[in-house]
Structure 1
Amino acid sequence: MSRTSHVRLLPWCGADGQPAHLVTDGTESRLSRLADSIEATQLDTGREVLKLSRAMLQSLERPTAGELFYVTQRLTECLTDALRVAESRGLRIPAYEA
């Protein structure tokens, strides 16, 4: 019985800045567990940055332009990570066969 190759988008880029992929036979490896852990951390970080940015925007003190720029950078990074996680997980959903 031959095993099918599985390609997984990893939550980091290669040295060249291009998306990194892991090719496996479908079994869990140390690298795939590491990727799962990093994805969970990225999503937790996104939740925390969103919570802090909401608090900053709801504060009675108006944020400075520098503070708004900083929070926009962090939110952009978190959104990028979340979209990569969503893409990676979406690619791993098996096709539905009726």
Structure 2
Amino acid sequence: MTTPNELRLLPWSGPGDKPCYLSTDDPDGYMSRLADSIEAVQLDTAAKLVEEASEAFDNQDTSIDEMRCLVKELTGALRDILRVATSRGHLLATSDPREPAY
């Protein structure tokens, strides 16, 4: 079992938007792989939204309603990416510096 400072912050939140954590000895277990997969989707979604935002800013015909919708989506994506960055930062901080990080 992992110690409390080694808990993995998962890329989703629980009831009341509270963080969810994973405690496991198996970084290749089902929940770890699921979290890795969701993080990859979140990163890909954010990248696509950044591209969409760039195009919308360059397009003079983009409406205020379209921009509001885009800002809402970008805000959600940024929240997800911050959670991923925080989680990965904690994983790096608790990993053994003698082991290669992949």
TM category (shorter chain) comes to: 0.7 to 0.9
Give structure 1 stretches of 5+ with no counterpart: none
Point out 4+ residue stretches in structure 1 off by more than 3 angstroms: 3-6
Deviation at 1:14, TM superposition (A): 1.1
Asked if the contact 2:2/2:23 (under 8 Å) is kept, the reply is no
Deviation at 1:28, TM superposition (A): 2.1
Paired residues, what number? 94
Under a length normalisation based on structure 2, what TM-score does the superposition of the two structures give?
Answer: 0.82
Note the aligned Cα RMSD (angstroms). 1.8
Asked if the contact 2:11/2:83 (under 8 Å) is kept, the reply is yes
Cross-structure match for 1:87 = 86
> If you compute each CA radius of gyration, which structure gives the higher value, 1 or 2?
1
Distance 1:59 1:46 in 2: 20
User: Higher helix fraction: Structure 1 or Structure 2?
Assistant: 2
Deviation at 1:25, TM superposition (A): 1.8
Distance 1:27 1:60 in 2: 47
Give structure 2 stretches of 5+ with no counterpart: none
Q: Percent identity of the aligned residues?
A: 38
Under a length normalisation based on structure 1, what TM-score does the superposition of the two structures give?
Answer: 0.85
Deviation readout 1:21-61 (Å, 9 max, x if unpaired): 00112442101000000000000000001101110110142
Work out whether 1:15 is the aligned partner of 2:19.
no
1:19-38 to 2 correspondence within 5 Å?
A: 19-38=19-38
Cross-structure match for 2:44 = 44
Cross-structure match for 1:57 = 57
